């Protein structure tokens, strides 16, 4: 069971969580619980690091930000004990959760589950802080924002759990963010592949890496709400959204529990920034000169457009990077101005990416054209496009994000009645 930040925000809410956990354990289940820091706490800690030193050392950043989850894991263990349950916390270094040393964006290598399994077998509820681990050098690491989802899936895989229930502040995965579109529809099931794509284009309900891990390890994941009353349907009856394999999805569709749509979901991401380099030489190697240094600096480039040369032998190149990497990307490119041979660098972080995702588009033409036409009808200008087998993304002005999501949700027939 994993509980996110909103679910853990304060004594009252932690008591509600403890009750959900107690009920699951009272079912006769052995339970491990992974918790997030209280909502807003990680942001607060990140700000302290920035104030202390704008060019902070990621290793010390990890020491600071990992503390949020230490607090909530201890508090949940205490609250469970107050309800008469046997419970104890297991910090990342105690299990341990081994990760690579990449501070602030570490990846879990393996989790030692022996002590955990022994304690659970003895009837103790295990409470594990999400987001944190320990690197090869013995120092604390964190997994990147939203990383508690990944901790939960990794723990589930390590102990061979029957299921990994991700409790959050919405009752499942919807056709789009229900906070933006009131008519968004809750899905009974979503495939790993679709969820992976949705998460990677901005649906923050699950961290991308957690979905990749669940897919690789075959962990059964359910997304459900912790904000329920005493009469709530038990988690075992699967009231939330199940993340399933393509085969399981075929079965669900065959049994008539769901209808397959060409588009499963719509996501948006406002954390992108656009860079335009003007008058780049139009010759072999020019593009490599731009993107190699960015790749070496681990800056992910997403959409790329190379315009048709307007003057003989010159062209403009437009691309997007995560907003947080924009200053670094700009500095890197400025340093290589001579080498690359561009004239001007223009940046714009007032852009957003809106994406439509669905396995159904593999076998159905026209998904992209519906997208372009519906946006055009509302006067929304498309600045860049990228596609994969099961996704179409467009970059638009940030101010038009919510409108675009709503228009597309209607256009693909996803609105609830």
By CB under 6 A, name the binding residues for ligand ASP: 4-5, 36-37, 42, 68, 130-131, 145-149
Is residue 202 at the binding interface for Mg ion, with CB under 5 A as the rule?
no
Of 241, 231, 232, the C-alpha closest to 164 is 241
Is residue 188 at the binding interface for ligand ADP, with CB under 6 A as the rule?
no
Q: Tell me the sheet residues that pair with 98.
A: 110, 134
Report what 6 binds from ligand ASP, Mg ion, ligand ADP, none; CB cut-off 5-8 Å by kind.
ligand ADP
Q: Which residue is associated with the tokens 């959050």?
A: 168
Q: Please pick, from the candidates 120, 203, 219, 414, the single residue that binds ligand ADP as defined by CB under 6 A.
A: 203
| Secondary structure of residue 387 in the 3-state scheme | strand
Report what 135 binds from ligand ADP, Mg ion, ligand ASP, none; CB cut-off 5-8 Å by kind.
none
What gap in Å lies between CA 207 and CA 145, rounded to an integer?
Answer: 8
* Nearest to Mg ion of 10, 160 (CB atom): 10
Is residue 269 at the binding interface for ligand ADP, with CB under 6 A as the rule?
no
Displacement of CA 343 from its chain's centroid (Å): 37
Report what 68 binds from Mg ion, ligand ASP, ligand ADP, none; CB cut-off 5-8 Å by kind.
ligand ASP
Q: Which of the ranges 50-58, 150-158, 201-209, 270-278 carries the binding residues for ligand ADP, by CB under 6 A?
A: 201-209
Is residue 146 at the binding interface for Mg ion, with CB under 5 A as the rule?
yes
Report what 195 binds from Mg ion, ligand ADP, ligand ASP, none; CB cut-off 5-8 Å by kind.
none
What gap in Å lies between CA 147 and CA 144, rounded to an integer?
Answer: 5
* Nearest to ligand ASP of 7, 320 (CB atom): 7
Of 242, 193, 187, the C-alpha closest to 215 is 193
Is residue 358 at the binding interface for Mg ion, with CB under 5 A as the rule?
no
Q: Tell me the sheet residues that pair with 356.
A: 266, 392
- In the complex, residue closest to ligand ADP by CB: 4
Q: Which residue is associated with the tokens 């990383």?
A: 147
Of 274, 416, 414, the C-alpha closest to 357 is 414
| Residue 205 C-beta: closest distance to Mg ion, Å | 7
What gap in Å lies between CA 91 and CA 73, rounded to an integer?
Answer: 8
Report what 203 binds from ligand ASP, ligand ADP, Mg ion, none; CB cut-off 5-8 Å by kind.
ligand ADP
Q: Which of the ranges 3-11, 108-116, 341-349, 365-373 carries the binding residues for ligand ADP, by CB under 6 A?
A: 3-11
DSSP 8-state class, residue 307: P
* Nearest to Mg ion of 227, 291 (CB atom): 227
Q: Which of the ranges 25-33, 117-125, 165-173, 387-395 carries the binding residues for ligand ADP, by CB under 6 A?
A: 165-173
* Nearest to ligand ASP of 34, 157 (CB atom): 34
* Nearest to ligand ASP of 206, 367 (CB atom): 206
Residue-by-residue DSSP string for 220-263: -EEEEES---TTPPPGGG--SEEEE-HHHHHHHHHTTS----S-
> How many alpha carbons lie under 13 Å from residue 65 in its C-beta half-sphere?
31
Report what 145 binds from Mg ion, ligand ASP, ligand ADP, none; CB cut-off 5-8 Å by kind.
ligand ASP
Crossing angle of helices 67-82/58-65, nearest 10°?
20
Sequence-distant (≥ 6) Cβ neighbours of residue 93 within 8 angstroms:
134, 140
* Nearest to Mg ion of 88, 270 (CB atom): 270
The total number of residues shown for the chain amounts to 417
* Nearest to ligand ADP of 6, 67 (CB atom): 6
């Amino acid at each position: 069971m994993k509980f996110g930040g909103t679910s853990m925000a304060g004594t009252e809410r932690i008591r509600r969580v403890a009750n959900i956990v107690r009920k699951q354990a009272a079912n006769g289940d052995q339970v491990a619980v992974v918790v997030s820091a209280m909502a807003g706490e990680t942001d607060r800690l990140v700000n302290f690091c920035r104030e202390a030193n704008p060019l902070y050392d990621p290793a010390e950043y990890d020491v600071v930000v990992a503390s949020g989850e230490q607090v909530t894991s201890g508090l949940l263990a205490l609250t469970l004990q107050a309800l008469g349950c046997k419970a104890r916390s297991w910090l990342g270094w105690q299990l341990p959760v081994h990760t690579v040393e990449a501070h602030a964006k570490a990846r879990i290598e393996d989790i030692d589950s022996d002590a955990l399994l022994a304690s659970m077998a003895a009837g103790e509820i295990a409470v594990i802080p999400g987001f944190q681990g320990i690197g090869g050098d013995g120092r604390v690491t964190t997994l990147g924002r939203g990383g508690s989802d990944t901790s939960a899936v990794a723990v589930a895989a390590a102990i061979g759990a029957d299921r990994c229930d991700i409790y959050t502040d919405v009752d499942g995965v919807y056709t789009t963010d229900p906070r933006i579109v009131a008519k968004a529809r809750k899905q009974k099931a979503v495939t790993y592949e679709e969820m992976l794509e949705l998460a990677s284009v901005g649906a923050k309900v699950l961290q991308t890496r957690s979905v990749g891990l669940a897919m690789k390890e075959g962990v059964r994941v359910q997304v459900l709400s912790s904000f329920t009353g005493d009469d709530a349907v038990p988690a075992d009856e699967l009231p939330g959204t199940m993340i399933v394999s393509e085969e399981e999805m075929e079965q669900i569709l065959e049994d008539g529990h769901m209808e397959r749509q060409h588009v499963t979901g719509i996501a948006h991401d406002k954390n992108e920034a656009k860079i335009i380099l003007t008058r780049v030489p139009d010759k072999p190697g020019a593009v490599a000169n731009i993107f190699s240094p960015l790749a070496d600096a681990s800056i992910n480039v997403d959409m790329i457009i190379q315009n048709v040369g307007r003057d003989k032998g010159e062209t403009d190149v437009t691309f997007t990077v995560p907003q947080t990497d924009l200053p670094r990307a700009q500095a890197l490119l400025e340093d290589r101005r001579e080498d690359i041979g561009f004239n001007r660098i223009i940046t714009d972080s007032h852009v957003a990416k809106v994406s439509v995702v669905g396995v159904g588009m593999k076998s159905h033409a026209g998904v992209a054209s519906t997208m372009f036409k519906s946006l055009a009808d509302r006067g929304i200008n498309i600045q860049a496009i990228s596609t994969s087998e099961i996704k179409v993304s467009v970059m638009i002005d940030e101010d038009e994000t919510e409108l675009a999501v709503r228009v597309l949700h209607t256009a693909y027939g996803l609105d609830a009645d």
